[in-house]
Chains A and B, each alone.
Chain A
Amino acid sequence: MSLMNYVYLAIVLFAIGAATVLVRRNAIIVFMGIELMLNAVNLAFVTFARMNGSLDGQAVALFVMVVAAAEVVVGLAIIMTIHRSRRSASVDDANLLKL
């Protein structure tokens, strides 16, 4: 099986993640979509590392996991405060700033 297939899989996962961001209303799920995109990128990095015969890509994957974890902390904190003050986690309800 060609390694390129893993890249295609990564692209598909990335697209699914992006679609999740667009179609889901719950901020947590939207955020999960973003996480999916990041992990799709990880897959791409690891595949390219394999293809290029260097380990840099695998190291990047580790970094991305750490960054994603940090992002979860910040993101959940923000979503939590919004949920507490609005009693809703829907991103469509946060709609005061416009035009």
Chain B
Amino acid sequence: MTTLPLSLPTAVAAADAAVAPAQGMAGVAWLLVALPLAGAALLLLVRRPLERVGPIIATVLSWGSFVVGAILLVEMIGRSPEARAQHLTLFSWLPVGTFSLDAGMLIDQLSVTFVLLITFVGSLIHVYSLGYMAHDPDRRKFFAFLNLFVAAMLLLVTADSYLLLYVGWEGVGLASYLLIGFWNWNPPYASAANKAFIANRIGDFGLGLAIMAMFATFGTVTITGVDRAAQAAGDQAGTMLTVIGFLLLLGACGKSAQFPLQSWLGDAMAGPTPVSALIHAATMVTAGVYLVVRAHPVYDHAPVAALAVTIVGAITLTMGAIIGCAKDDIKKALAASTMSQIGYMMLAAGLGPVGYAFAIFHLVTHGFFKAGMFLGAGSVMHGMGDRVDMRTFGGLSGKMKITWATFLCGWLAIIGFPFLSGFFSKDKIIEAAFVGEGWRPWVFGLTTMLVAGLTAFYMSRLFFMTFHGKRRWLEDDHPHESPASMTVPMIILAVGSVALGGVLQAGGFLDWLAPVTGGHAGAAHHEPVLPIPVITGGTLLLVALGVGLAWARYWRADVPVTAPAGSWLTRAAARDFYQDDVNHGLLVVPGNALVEAATLADDSGVDQGTDGVGRAVLGASTRLARLQNGFVRSYALTMLLGVVLVLAAVWMVQS
């Protein structure tokens, strides 16, 4: 192993100076985080007077963040491409001896892209929630948590060091548990929050270790510092970079619901629907992709880790799509689709410089159309007595015209209908997957292409089962369109689903990102192993096939109200490929044991199963605790033995 010495206090700090210090509006970039954070604090601390106006304040503050982000973008576009990244030092955070870490913000093309996505979609969802949560007695708290989430997410994407990023990372985790478990003191919901908690802790543990490894290897944890050090060390530090890459991937898998930590996402759908739209579609779950792209200098020099990212992406996108085909719960089907789409992004990010910009491109367009569809699903549920089983929907297009129209836009976008958002972004990824040598382009390229067809099938299935075909409503259903506060955000997101891809493509979004993601321009030199028209044509053909099949089975034919048994594949997919059973062994049992160990007093409870290390520690603990037998004389004996050993050590040293 190439060991870099533990060069802790080396003056890497000097290298951080390369990014220009903030000027102009970037100086107030801290408002991005401060506004929603202030909102959360206000709503949590001042209670009674804000029960009514609190939600509105929270929404206004969220839009405030968006305005700040928009101004930053305008300013940034005004500068030359090389000078667009700016660094804002907020305060000296950890001045410990010779090591000094400032809390600061890195405002570059990547972070501004995320800022705008988060604040725009986030604010729309605030507006939507004004309608959706109008009758909830605890809505002040709900909006406080929403604001807290937006603040933490913005901190995550604007942090200038991995440590500060970690703070935001934990913050979004905390806010999402609060929101998933919001309604819900009833056991399944609490257990969903619990599962998300454990899966995320595993991921967070990976990220924490990655940061420690960075600190030990490079002596710095700032993003620019690590970039520089990773590039400077290059392949010499290959082993350490690979380790760091794998640890970061573990973190990304936890947060972005990638294989093998994906199972919590479906259960997290127990939370209120706007939460699913915001956290589990548009923002938090994409943090893993952000992390991988942000740390791309690490992956550039760690090809094994990058390949692992691609493989994880490929597995997840396939799995997600198959699970999506088997789910009857509209939100769970959408969750599976999210998982699959993020798999696309991860795969792209793992492809290296060819794919980073495409990953972000797809992330942005997906944020719009998936959030829009989640809001649409919320609107449907709103009209159907909060039910989620699609087998009892059907034929809603007549009763909920706006919801139907917006959902139609989202559906067309995600299946990659020509010249809609998804067409541009997903096709780019499929093309990029075909680039390369040896077995990889064929495996990854064909996977992404086939799954595009599968995506078309399960999304069409969802769309047709909900809005078309025969009405399979329950007797007391009276579907109705939702209020304007809910439909307007849906319409805006639908417009985005239709147009955003084309606009960004035409506006040179990919080149704009290039200074951060590194050498998108170089992608031009790599030709896919198949001609591009063939790839596009093949994808479209598969998509058409998928839609056609879904039309035949779920629109034209009658959909049984109770789910048929189905083939083994359907059954396996409907059960998330037994991931829950696997996880039950891997995550839930230790998790429950953790709670039980906390609850039970007696030795038998304490000895009950936890996994290896945990059991060893617990065993050591119980055994060691026997020394603490309550007899004061034995305590005195311990002390005296200590004294004797200490003196014996002295005697040995002296003689």
Contacts and interface: CB of A to CB of B under 8 A. Distances in A.
A/B contact in complex, CB under 8 angstroms: yes
Nearest to A33: B636
B640 interface: yes
Contact residues of A: prevailing secondary structure: loop
Interface string B621-644: 000011011111100110010000
A92 B630 CA distance: 8
Contacts of B632: 91, 94
B625 A99 contact: yes
Residue picked from A22, A94, A96, most chain B C-beta under 10 Å: A22
A95 interface: yes
B631 A22 contact: no
Contact of B636 (A21, A94, A96, A99): A21
B629 A22 contact: no
A97 B636 contact: no
B630 A91 contact: no
Contacts of A98: 628-630
A61 interface: no
Nearest to A92: B631
Contacts of B631: 91-92, 95
Interface in B605-625: 625
A92 B633 CA distance: 8
A64 interface: no
19 contacts: A21-B633, A22-B633, A23-B633, A25-B633, A91-B631, A91-B632, A92-B631, A92-B633, A94-B632, A95-B629, A95-B630, A95-B631, A97-B630, A98-B629, A99-B625, A99-B626, A99-B628, A99-B629, A99-B630
B621 to A, nearest CB: 10
Contacts of A99: 625-626, 628-630
B636 A22 contact: yes
Interface in A32-66: none
A18 interface: yes
Interface in B296-345: none
A25 B636 CA distance: 12
A21 to B, nearest CB: 5
A35 B439 CA distance: 83
Interface residues of B, number: 11
A94 B633 CA distance: 11
Nearest to A24: B633
Nearest to B629: A98
Contacts of B637: 22
A99 B626 CA distance: 6
Interface string A63-99: 0000000000000000000000000000110111111
A43 B631 CA distance: 31
Contacts of A21: 633, 636
Given A91-B631, A99-B630, 12 more contacts: A21-B633, A22-B640, A23-B633, A25-B633, A92-B631, A94-B632, A95-B629, A95-B631, A98-B628, A98-B630, A99-B625, A99-B626
Nearest to A91: B632
A95 B632 CA distance: 8
A26 to B, nearest CB: 11
B639 to A, nearest CB: 10
Contacts of B636: 21-22
CB-CB nearest 6 A-B residue pairs: A98-B630, A95-B630, A99-B625, A91-B632, A21-B636, A99-B628
A96 B633 contact: no
Contacts of A22: 633, 636-637, 640
Interface in A1-37: 18, 21-23, 25, 30
Contacts of A30: 633
A16 B640 CA distance: 13
A97 B631 CA distance: 9
A25 B631 CA distance: 10
Contacts of A23: 633
A97 B628 CA distance: 9
Interface string B527-543: 00000000000000000
B2 to A, nearest CB: 47
A92 B629 CA distance: 11
B426 to A, nearest CB: 60
A96 B629 CA distance: 9
B628 to A, nearest CB: 5
Contacts of B630: 95-99
A94 B636 CA distance: 14
Residue picked from B628, B629, B632, most chain A C-beta under 10 Å: B632
Nearest to B640: A18
Nearest to B626: A99
Nearest to B634: A22
A2 to B, nearest CB: 21
A22 B643 CA distance: 14
A34 to B, nearest CB: 10
A91 B637 CA distance: 14
Nearest to B625: A99
A30 B541 CA distance: 92
A37 to B, nearest CB: 11
A19 to B, nearest CB: 9
Contacts of B640: 18, 22
A83 B637 CA distance: 23
